[in-house]
Structure 1
Amino acid sequence: MPEQQWILTSTEQPPEWFLQAVKQYVSASSGQYAAQLLWQRGIRGIPQLAAFLDSKTYQSASPFEFGQEMQLAVERLQKAWKAAEKIAIWGDFDADGITSTAVLWDGLGQFFVQNTQLIYYIPNRLTESHGLNCPGIDNLGEQGCKLIVTCDTGSTNISEITYAKQQDIDVIVTDHHTLPVERPPVTAIINPRYLPSDHQLFHLSGVAVAYKLVEALYQALPDIPQQPLEDLWDLVAVGLIADLVQLSGDCRYLAQLGIGRLQEDFKKTPTQRRRPGVGRLLELCQKSGDRPTDISFGLGPRINAVSRIQGDASFCVELLTSRDHKRVNQLAEATELANSRRKSLQKEVAQQVNQKLSQMDLSTTSVIVLSDPQWAVGVLGLVAGQVAQETGRPTILLSTEGIGERQDGELGAPTTAREWGLGRTAPWAGSPTWGDCPSAMGRLGDGEKKAPHHPTTPPPHLLLARGSARSVNSVDLYQLVKNQAHLLHRFGGHPYAAGLSLPVENIPLFTEAINQQLRQTLGGATQAPTVQADLTVTVADLGKELFLELKLLEPCGMGNPVPKLLIQNCWFENAWHRNQQDWQGKKVQYIKTEFDIRDDSTRSPFPGVWWGHYKDELPLGRCDCIAELDYNTFKKRYEIRLIAVRSSETSTRLTHHSVLILDWRNIPDAPWRVSTSVPLLLKECPTSWDDLRAWLRRSLYNQQPLAIAWSKPKHKPPEEIWLTLVGIAKYLSRTNQSATRIQFLQKLGISDQSLYLGFKALKSVGFIVQRQDRNLHINQQPNPESTLAEIAIAKFLAAVREEQFQREYFAEVPLSTIQAIAKIMNAER
C-alpha cells in the first residue's frame, strides 16, 4: 500500500477572550483544546459559540419556512383527516429512510389510525432500489389509499408521480435529495434544497424534513395529538447522524435534542422505555445512547445492515416504534444477526479485494476498478470506502453476477433511483422522465440513476454489473464517473460516493478511460492516502478531563469531524486480538485489537482499541499514532480508538500548513487586516479543482500564504438567471447599447462557460450576439424553431445547476482536502 501522508491542522491560537468564553462551558479543565478546535472550525464569536454549544440558546426555524409547499401539504393532510382517507407513507430502506418512515408513522399516527387509515411501504433494496415505482403505487391504490406521503425520496420520480395522479392518488413529497428541473405534479414538495444554501434548514436530512411536516401539522391541529412532539426527537437524531449530513443549523440542534432524549429513555428499565426496540438494540451493541458514536457505530450500521443482507427492511420501522417488548426483542436480535452477517461479508469481500490489489501495480493506477461475480452488492460501498482510505485512490467495486435476465426468468422490479447520500441530479440526465410507467428495469445499486440514454428494460441477455464507488482526498468522483456516462447503464452520486451499473463487457473500457481521465487531471501528481490530526497531545493528557472538553463539540459529523489526536514517541504493550462475537456468543469474522499505550509523559498506561486489525500490525518500539478519544460504556472506561500508526524511525516530518493555507471562509470580520503577513486572497469560490490549483501554484511560486476567504454562495434559481439574461438582451437590443463580458458575469453570477451556453441559448430564441472590441452587441430577430430553443435553454440551465452545485461543494470542502492538494504540489517542486 502507498505510504500514508499525515497532516497536522493549523494550530492558530485563539485570543484570550475566546478562551475565557469557552472555559465557562467546562468546569474540570482549562478549555484550551476545545477553544483551539472551535476557533479552527470557524466558531469565532460569543453568540455563535453559545448557539453551537447550548441547544437552549439556539433559535430553531419554523416548519413554515418552507413556504407555500408546507402550507399545501398541511391543508391536504387536514382534508384527509376530515374525510378519514387512507394514507400511505412511502419510505426508503437506509437508516435515514427507515427513521423518516418511523417519524411519520408515529407523528401522523396521532391523527390517523395506524394500520387502518395509515400504512407504510419500504421498497426492497435488492429488487426495487430507491424511489417510487408503479407496481407499488398500484398495490397501494388497491388498498384504497388516496394520498401517498414520501420521505427521504421522491423528488425526481416525475413519471411515477404522474402515474399516481392518473390513479386518483395524490402525492406529498418530503425529501432532501435531487431537485427536478420543474416542479413535479405533486400536491406539495417539501425539500430544503429549494431554500438558500445558507438557510438553517438547508442541510436537513430526510428524517428531519419528515419531522418538520409533523411539526407543522401539530401546529395546525394542536388539540388532536395525544403524545408530545418531543417524543420524535430520538428518531430524528438517529437518522440525522446515520445519514452523514452536515450537522449545522437545525440539523445540529435536532441532533442535540435527540441524543438527550435517547439517553433519557435508555436510563429507564426496559419495561418503562418509550422505545423498547431502540433500547434493546443499544444493549446488543453495548451502547447507552448518550453519544453520537452510539448511532454512527451502533444503531445506524445495524439498521442499514438489514436491507444490505436481506433486501426487505420493513420490520425496522416496527422495531423503532412498537411498544410490544417481546416482539421488538425478536426484531432487535434479527437486526443484530443481520449486522453480524454484514460484518462477515464485509471482511470476506475486503480480503478478496486485497488479494486482487496485491496483484496490481498501484503506481500506475489512478482509479481502482475491481469486479467479481461472487461479491455481495450490499457491502461493496463499505469495502470501497476502506480501500479508498487505505490507498488514497478512488475505488469502484462491481458485482458481475448480472441483472439482465434473472435466474427465475423475471426482470427486476420497475424502479427509478434517487442520487446517493448528498447527491443531486446529474445535469446530463436532463428532466428525469424515464418513460411511461409501468416499465421493467433492472435492479439498482447505491443511488444509481439513469444514464443519459434513459434505458428502460435491459436487453434479455445483457449482463449488467452493479456496484459502488467511493472517493478520497480531492477527487470529485461525481464528475469523474459522469464523464464516462456513455459507457454506463445507470449512475448517481456526489463528489464523495456513487452507485452505478454498466454492461459487463464495458468494464475494461470504463477502467481504462476513467484512469486516463484522472491521470490527466492530476497532471502526474502522486496519489497518497492522507490522515489529518487536529491536536497534539500526550498519554498524560488522555482521560476524563480531555474527553469532556472535546465532548463540547458533539454531535460531530460532516463539517465538524470527531477530533483526531496526534500522540508522538509512544509505544504499545499488552496487545491482543480476537474475533468479535454476536449476541449469541458466536464468532463473527471481524477482528479487533486491544492494547495499552504509553509514552514518557506518565507512568500510567492508557487503554485503546484498533478495529479491523491484528496485534501484529502494531509497530514494535517507538511510534507515532493518530487516535480518537472515546468512552466505552460497556467497560466503563475511557479509551482511544486508533486511526493510524507508524514507527517513529520511519516517520517523516509532519506537514504543518498554517503558513500556506489560511481558512477565512464565512468570517465576517476580515482577518487580513490584522495579519502579520500579506496573504494571497481568494474571495471567489472556485468551481473546479483546476481553478483552486492555479491559486495554489501562485501561492507556492510567490512563497505567500493563500487565504481562502469566500462565503457560502447565495444562488438564484437557474430559471431566474435565464430570465435575467433574456431581460438584459431585450434591453440592449431595444436601446442599442452594449455591455462587456465582465458586466454579464457580474450581473448573472455565473462562469464564462455557462455564459457561453447562455449566449447560444439566446441565439436559439432569436437574438444575435456580436462582439466589437470588448463590447457585446445584441439584436433581436424572429424566433427560430422552438425545439432547438428548448434544447439550448436546457443545456444552459443544466450548466448553471452544475456550476452552483460545484460552488456549494467547494464552499465547504474540508481544509484537510485543500491541504492535501497543496502538499502534493509542494512535493512536486
Structure 2
Amino acid sequence: MIYKWNYKPLTPKETEIRDELSTQLGMHPALCQLLIQRGINSVEQAQKFFHPSLKDLHDPFLLPDMDKAIDRIENALGQKERILVYGDYDVDGTTAVALVYKFLRKFTTNLDYYIPDRYDEGYGISEQGIDYAAETDVKLIIALDCGIKAIEKVKYAKSKGIDFIICDHHMPDETLPDAVAVVDAKRVDSIYPYEHLSGCGVGFKLAQALAQNNKIDFSELLDLLDLVAVSVASDIVPLTGENRILTYYGLKQLNSSPSMGLQGIIDICGLNDKSITVSDIVFKIGPRINASGRMMNGKEAVDLLLSNTALDAKLKSENIDHYNANRRELDKRITEEAINFIESELDITKINSIVIFNKDWHKGVIGIVASRLTEKYYRPAVVLTKSNNLVTGSARSVMGFDVYKAIEACKDILENFGGHTYAAGLSLKEENLSEFRRRFEAMSVELIAPEMMRPQIDINAELNFIDINNKFVSDLDKFAPFGPENLNPIFVSKDVADYGNSKLVGKDSLHIKLDMVDSSLNTPMHGIAFRQSNSFSMIKKGLYDICYTLEENIHNGKTNTQLYIKDIDKGQF
C-alpha cells in the first residue's frame, strides 16, 4: 500500500509560541509542537493537559434529564422495586452494565441485569428483554449504551407497567422515546460541556450523580474507573476532555488494583508484567470481552466482569479466551471470502464504496471484516448477512466520510440503524438491498474525493535520532493516554541509512528488523517495520526517510525505546 505523507508546518506565530513553550517547560521543541497541534498554547494549559484532575470532571446533573433519572432511581430504591440494568452486547455495553450494577448493589439486592442476544434479539432494546422484565416483576429498566431510538419498545414497556431510564451516547432522532429520563449529551437541548462520553462513561455519570445525591464521597467511585477506561479505549471515542481524565485514572486503577474479572482477563492475555496501555485494551482486553457477545451471549462478559473470586474469574476468562480464538478463525475465513469475492466480482478501481452480502456469514464478526476491507481497499465498507429474516450488517468508513449520515440518508428503506461517524450498524429487507447499494455508492461518489481513497499518514514533527533520548521519551509519556484526537504522534526522520544489521524476520520474512543511523548519531537506532518486506532492497541501497511512533519494547526483562515504523520511502519531502 502506498501512503501519502502529510506534514503541515507551523505558522511563524505558532513557531514563536512553540519556542516560548520549549523554553518555559524545558521540553524539546518537537513536543511543544505537539501541544500546539492539540490547541494548547500556554504553560497553564500544558500543565493541565499533563496532569489530568478528577476535579475537572463536569457536574453530572448538567446532563439532560439526570435529575429525573436520579429521582426515579431513588423512588425505586425507597419502594424496594425490582430494577433491571440493560445494555448492549459489545464492550461498551457490557462494561456499562457491570459498572452500574456494581454501584447499585450497594443500595439494593432487588437487582438484575440483561444483555440481548445478538442473534435472537439484535441490537438495542428488545421485546424479549421487556417480557423478561415483566416476568421477573421489574418496575424500572435502566438502559445503557442503547435505547435512544427505542420509541416503540419504551411504549411496549409502559403497557406492561415498566418505566425506562435511557443512558445513551448515540445520535438521537428528532423524537425521543417517552421514557422517564433520556440521558444523552448528544441531545439537541443538552448543555453538557462534553458530548463524546462512551456508553459506560454515561453510566459512570449516573453513578456519580447518585453518589452526590446521597453524599457518598467520590473516592467510593474510583474502583469503577477501570471499566470506564476499557470502554473508552474499545469504543474508539475521542480521548480528549472528560474521556481523557476518566481513562487516565482508569488505567491507574487497571494497573494497580483491577476488579477481579478484569484481572482474570489480564492474566489470560499475559499482561501481568507490563504497564497496561490503551493499545493493550484495544488489541487484547477489549476483543476478549467482545468475543462473548460475538460468539455466544454478551451476558457471559458481564458475569465475568462481576466475578467475586479469582477462581471464578479464571474459569470465565478461559471461556471467553476460547470464544476469542474461535472468533479469530471465523474472522480470518470470512475476510478471505470477502476479499476473494471483491477481487473476482467487483472492479475496485471503478467504485467508491464496498457493499457486500452473504447470507451465511457469521453476524458476530462482520463488523471486524468491514474494518479489514476498509483498511485494505481504503473505501467505506458495508458487510451484510442474514439474521431473523432481515439483511443486517456493519459499516466502517475512511477519514472524511461520515458513514452514519450516509446510512441515515437511506433510512426510508431501512428497518433499523445506528452508530457513529466512522462505524455504524443497519438492517433492511432483502428486496431493498440493491437500492441501498445504489444510493450508498452514489453518496460515496459525491462525497469522497480521489485523495480520500489513498491512505494517508499525518506527520506531527521531524526528529533527528540524537533527539530521541530518555528525557524526550519521558516527556512524551506525559501526552498519554493516546487515542482518537490525541493520537500517538508520528515522527519523521530523513536521510537515514542502514547500519548493516537490518534483516527480514518473522513468518515468511514479512517484517524488517532495522538498525539505522542518521547524520546526527552514529549509534544505531532500532526499529521494526511490520509487513514491509517489499522495502528491504531499498533500505540496503542508500538513504531513505521513515515515519514512526516511539514504542516501549521489553526484551529479556530490559526496557528500551524502539521505532515502530509506519512507512519507509525514498524522499516524500
Does the alignment reach a TM-score above 0.5? yes
CA distance in 2, matches of 1:189, 1:391: 39
Structure 2 residue 569 is the aligned partner of structure 1 residue 573 = no
- Paired letter, 1:498: A
Pairwise CA distance, 1:100: 0.6
Structure 2 residue 369 is the aligned partner of structure 1 residue 383 = yes
The change in CA–CA distance for 1:294 and 1:147 in structure 2 (over 3 A counts) is same
Pairwise CA distance, 1:487: 5.2
CA distance in 2, matches of 1:162, 1:75: 21
The change in CA–CA distance for 1:539 and 1:319 in structure 2 (over 3 A counts) is farther
The change in CA–CA distance for 1:216 and 1:197 in structure 2 (over 3 A counts) is closer
Structure 2 residue 398 is the aligned partner of structure 1 residue 398 = no
Secondary structure of the residue aligned to 1:596 is strand
Q: Percent identical across equivalent pairs?
A: 28
CA distance in 1, matches of 2:422, 2:206: 29
Pairwise CA distance, 1:510: 4.3
Structure 2 residue 547 is the aligned partner of structure 1 residue 630 = no
CA distance in 1, matches of 2:323, 2:563: 24
Equivalent residues in 2 for 1:634-645, closer than 5 Å: 636-638=558-560, 640=562, 642=564, 644-645=566-567
Pairwise CA distance, 1:122: 0.7
Deviation per residue, 1:533-590 (Å, 9 max, x gap) = 22233455556444322222212222222212234445582332249xxxxxxxxxxx
Secondary structure of the residue aligned to 1:186 is coil
CA distance in 1, matches of 2:154, 2:525: 61
CA distance in 1, matches of 2:291, 2:165: 28
CA distance in 1, matches of 2:178, 2:356: 41
Structure 2 residue 80 is the aligned partner of structure 1 residue 95 = no
Question: 277, 282, 297: which one pairs with 1:296?
Answer: 282
Equivalent residues in 2 for 1:585-596, closer than 5 Å: 593=511, 595-596=513-514
Alpha carbons 1:484, 1:513 under 8 Å: kept:
yes
CA distance in 1, matches of 2:450, 2:238: 33
The change in CA–CA distance for 1:634 and 1:492 in structure 2 (over 3 A counts) is farther
The change in CA–CA distance for 1:380 and 1:640 in structure 2 (over 3 A counts) is farther
Task: State the partner residue of 1:86.
Answer: 82
CA distance in 2, matches of 1:523, 1:472: 11
TM-score (norm 1): 0.62
CA distance in 2, matches of 1:383, 1:309: 15
CA distance in 2, matches of 1:632, 1:346: 28
- Paired letter, 1:340: A
- Paired letter, 1:364: K
CA distance in 2, matches of 1:36, 1:158: 48
CA distance in 2, matches of 1:198, 1:538: 46
Deviation per residue, 1:262-282 (Å, 9 max, x gap) = 1222xxxxxxxx523212312
CA distance in 2, matches of 1:60, 1:226: 11
Task: State the partner residue of 1:34.
Answer: 31
Deviation per residue, 1:314-337 (Å, 9 max, x gap) = 121222232211110011122222
Pairwise CA distance, 1:351: 2.7
Alpha carbons 1:539, 1:606 under 8 Å: kept:
no
CA distance in 2, matches of 1:641, 1:280: 31
Alpha carbons 1:22, 1:34 under 8 Å: kept:
no
- Paired letter, 2:264: R
Task: State the partner residue of 1:280.
Answer: 264
Task: State the partner residue of 2:184.
Answer: 191
Question: 122, 140, 160: which one pairs with 1:129?
Answer: 122
The change in CA–CA distance for 1:540 and 1:379 in structure 2 (over 3 A counts) is farther
Structure 2 residue 302 is the aligned partner of structure 1 residue 317 = yes
Equivalent residues in 2 for 1:331-370, closer than 5 Å: 331-359=316-344, 360-370=346-356
Deviation per residue, 1:720-767 (Å, 9 max, x gap) = xxxxxxxxxxxxxxxxxxxxxxxxxxxxxxxxxxxxxxxxxxxxxxxx
Equivalent residues in 2 for 1:507-586, closer than 5 Å: 507-508=433-434, 510-521=436-447, 527-542=453-468, 544-568=470-494, 569-571=496-498, 573-578=502-507
- Paired letter, 1:18: L
Deviation per residue, 1:636-690 (Å, 9 max, x gap) = 5345574632452xx5x34xxxxxxxxxxxxxxxxxxxxxxxxxxxxxxxxxxxx
Pairwise CA distance, 1:99: 0.9
The change in CA–CA distance for 1:537 and 1:529 in structure 2 (over 3 A counts) is same
The change in CA–CA distance for 1:526 and 1:17 in structure 2 (over 3 A counts) is closer
Pairwise CA distance, 1:167: 1.3
Task: State the partner residue of 1:71.
Answer: 67
Secondary structure of the residue aligned to 2:399 is coil
Structure 2 residue 145 is the aligned partner of structure 1 residue 146 = no
Pairwise CA distance, 1:144: 1.6
CA distance in 1, matches of 2:149, 2:264: 37
Task: State the partner residue of 1:220.
Answer: 213
- Paired letter, 1:645: D
Structural RMSD (CA):
3.0
Equivalent residues in 2 for 1:256-271, closer than 5 Å: 256-265=248-257
Secondary structure of the residue aligned to 1:193 is coil
The change in CA–CA distance for 1:300 and 1:541 in structure 2 (over 3 A counts) is farther
Alpha carbons 2:89, 2:118 under 8 Å: kept:
yes
Alpha carbons 1:384, 1:396 under 8 Å: kept:
yes
Equivalent residues in 2 for 1:225-264, closer than 5 Å: 228-264=220-256
- The runs of at least 4 aligned residues of structure 1 exceeding 6 Å deviation read 195-198, 523-526
CA distance in 2, matches of 1:562, 1:259: 16
CA distance in 2, matches of 1:183, 1:339: 36
CA distance in 1, matches of 2:170, 2:162: 23
The change in CA–CA distance for 1:507 and 1:137 in structure 2 (over 3 A counts) is closer
Structure 2 residue 527 is the aligned partner of structure 1 residue 598 = no
CA distance in 1, matches of 2:340, 2:492: 31
- Paired letter, 1:339: N
Alpha carbons 1:367, 1:518 under 8 Å: kept:
yes
The change in CA–CA distance for 1:239 and 1:346 in structure 2 (over 3 A counts) is same
Pairwise CA distance, 1:253: 1.3
CA distance in 2, matches of 1:547, 1:105: 40
Where does structure 1 lack aligned partners over 5 or more consecutive residues? 24-29, 266-273, 404-411, 413-441, 443-463, 580-590, 655-829
- Paired letter, 2:90: D
Alpha carbons 1:543, 1:638 under 8 Å: kept:
no
Pairwise CA distance, 1:53: 1.6
Equivalent residues in 2 for 1:49-60, closer than 5 Å: 49-56=46-53, 59-60=56-57
- Paired letter, 1:599: V
Structure 2 residue 111 is the aligned partner of structure 1 residue 118 = yes
The change in CA–CA distance for 1:634 and 1:181 in structure 2 (over 3 A counts) is farther
Pairwise CA distance, 1:481: 3.6
- Paired letter, 1:315: E
Pairwise CA distance, 1:190: 1.7
Task: State the partner residue of 1:17.
Answer: 20
TM-score (norm 2): 0.87
Question: 527, 537, 549: which one pairs with 1:620?
Answer: 537
- Paired letter, 1:210: G
CA distance in 2, matches of 1:643, 1:605: 12
Structure 2 residue 294 is the aligned partner of structure 1 residue 308 = yes
CA distance in 1, matches of 2:214, 2:248: 27
Secondary structure of the residue aligned to 2:285 is helix
Alpha carbons 1:110, 1:227 under 8 Å: kept:
no
Deviation per residue, 1:226-261 (Å, 9 max, x gap) = 982211111111112221112222222111111111
Pairwise CA distance, 1:363: 2.4
Secondary structure of the residue aligned to 2:119 is coil
CA distance in 2, matches of 1:380, 1:93: 15
Pairwise CA distance, 1:111: 0.6
The change in CA–CA distance for 1:525 and 1:536 in structure 2 (over 3 A counts) is closer
Where does structure 2 lack aligned partners over 5 or more consecutive residues? none
CA distance in 2, matches of 1:594, 1:250: 39
